[in-house]
Structure 1
Amino acid sequence: MTRFLYFGLFLLVANNLAADATARTADPALWGRDGHKAICLMAWWDMKPETRSAVRSLLATNRAFDRFMESCLWADQVRGSDPAYDRYTTAHYVNLPRDATSFNLERDCGDTFCAVEAVTESLAVLENSDSPPKARLNALKFLAHFAGDLHQPMHAGYAFDRGGNDTAVTAFGEPSNLHRVWDSVLIERSWASWVDMASHLYFDITDADREAWDSLNPARWAEESHAILRETAYDFGAHGEVDEDYRAKNITIIETRMQMAAIRLARLLDAALATG
């Protein structure tokens, strides 16, 4: 299927998404609202038609969300709202040691329900057609969100600063922290809207990219993110300045990670939900 076919799909939905495109939030939600919705919109475009149909059917079991992109924010929205979801509080990230080059389940998750485990568990529930409809719907929403989180380098970070949340920086003259910079600040400095970002990033993805990004192993995603974090994330000014040079160096990394998350999420959902 060519990207031109998807362009027609983009034009069809763009008007319905226009109001969302201009919405901003001061809350630095994980990957940011814009990042998560862009990832899920790209995944929506890339998944098989029968997968989209299955996703629509699952969403129809609970009318809280009309669109897949909105449902991808749900895992943030339920944090602290219901004791039934307390175990997912730690599922948005995984902490690795500074010198780690590979993921180790016992070392990096231990008794904590981490993002790698959350993706694996959610996928198992989703692909089991005998799972209750509510459980499958929740699994869809968790999977879409946590797959995105694992591709954000600060979500495979260090425990000592809580994935950059405790590393204070001055981002373009404003007080911030390193986690928020990677969640939303660099994206907001680079794109006018999340729909514009999603469309441009999606139509830049090649078949060669899809082949190169064929890993559906969440442990591998964590390793990739951690390697990026070690190499570049903490390379800011001596006094904690995040400036245009830092943005220019890292925005392409962020964009590529979003593209990878979208393609991998689409393939996971195809495997779990497509019948043909």
Structure 2
Amino acid sequence: MKYLLAFLILSQTLLASEDWGQNGHRTVGETAEQYLKSKVSKKINRILNGQSIADASTYADEIKSDSAYDKYKPWHYANIPFDQTYSEADKNPKGDIVYGIEECIRNLKYEELSKEKEQFYLKMLIHLVGDMHQPLHFGLKEDKGANDFKVKWFYSPTNLHSVWDTKMIESYNMSYTELADSLPELSKMEIKVIKTGTLLDWVEQNRDLTREVYKSAEANENLSYRYMYDWFGVSQLQMKKAGIRLAVILNDIYS
């Protein structure tokens, strides 16, 4: 029994270490709630049977442990050479994060779905829009999206992808509601600019940041307080953008 318990705890730890972890995704979901139209919020509440967007946001990571959902794993990222746009680059024949978002939107807008299927695509969409704004989900294929970009975080071995997924957020030591409340205050004009553009426009904006993040550290470098000072505000802004843009997409689907 104790071995089973240890396995379950380890499994949850591994799940929580991917794709902005639980706090990052729930912060995006909590933020999106603030920008939903009232009618849309009620529709989503019915679809999710009262579950909040924040709670639903981690579903796509939770199902990774079930091999029945293996075909959706490539939906969490896209590996693109830095000298090409997403449109120019060769696509993963198994799909990628842009394909996944578009497929979720298409199903939710145009298909006659069962309640179960509608919940599935909605939960996937909520999660993938969050992933899209974690810049290393557009990392390079040769280092697996910076998972093989080895660094240290306060002298503990890790990788650059993990720093952006969880390490900085964990170091901030806040609940997702506290983190959502701490995100930067934006003017109406700043929010309008974030809402403007197509999905591919947003992808390329995030990829501009991906290039900068790759230059933010050297291999095996120890990252600590200075890195937090320089980059955590950027991470917070990305979570804010993800929440606002998720609301834009959901308002369009359900209005």
Return the TM-score normalized by structure 2: 0.88
Query: Is the aligned partner of 1:103 residue 2:86?
Result: yes
1:261 maps to 242
**Which residues of 2 match residues 100-249 of structure 1 at below 5 A?**
100=84, 102-104=85-87, 107-128=89-110, 130-201=112-183, 204-215=185-196, 217-237=198-218, 239-249=220-230
1:46 maps to 35
1:37–1:260: structure 2 CA closer, same or farther, 3 Å change rule? Answer: same
* Cα deviation 1:201-234 (Å, max 9, x = unaligned): 16x1321122111245332232222211212334
Q: Determine the C-alpha separation between the residues in 2 that align with 1:74 and 1:157.
A: 23
SS at match of 1:176: strand
2:21 maps to 32
SS at match of 2:158: strand
Question: 1:103 is matched by which residue type in structure 2?
Answer: Y
2:3 maps to none
Aligned residue pairs total 243
Shift of 1:86: 2.1
Q: Determine the C-alpha separation between the residues in 1 that align with 2:141 and 2:251.
A: 34
Query: Is the aligned partner of 1:88 residue 2:72?
Result: yes
* Cα deviation 1:154-190 (Å, max 9, x = unaligned): 0011001111111111111211111110011112223
The answer to whether the 8 Å contact 1:215/1:264 transfers is: no
Structure 2 unaligned regions, length at least 5: 1-11
1:20 maps to none
The answer to whether the 8 Å contact 2:136/2:146 transfers is: yes
Shift of 1:152: 0.5
Q: Determine the C-alpha separation between the residues in 1 that align with 2:66 and 2:197.
A: 31
Return the TM-score normalized by structure 1: 0.82
Question: 1:90 is matched by which residue type in structure 2?
Answer: P
Provide the aligned C-alpha RMSD in A: 2.0
* Cα deviation 1:19-48 (Å, max 9, x = unaligned): xxxxx9464121111100000011012101
Q: Determine the C-alpha separation between the residues in 1 that align with 2:41 and 2:95.
A: 29
Q: Which runs of 4+ in 1 moved over 3 A?
A: 24-27
Question: 1:244 is matched by which residue type in structure 2?
Answer: Y
The answer to whether the 8 Å contact 2:40/2:251 transfers is: yes
Q: Determine the C-alpha separation between the residues in 2 that align with 1:187 and 1:233.
A: 19
Q: Determine the C-alpha separation between the residues in 1 that align with 2:115 and 2:45.
A: 13
* Cα deviation 1:129-171 (Å, max 9, x = unaligned): 6222222111110110000101110001100111111111111
Q: Determine the C-alpha separation between the residues in 2 that align with 1:25 and 1:87.
A: 22
Shift of 1:236: 1.9
Q: Determine the C-alpha separation between the residues in 1 that align with 2:90 and 2:137.
A: 12
Q: Determine the C-alpha separation between the residues in 1 that align with 2:219 and 2:117.
A: 48
Q: Determine the C-alpha separation between the residues in 2 that align with 1:239 and 1:77.
A: 30
Structure 1 unaligned regions, length at least 5: 1-23
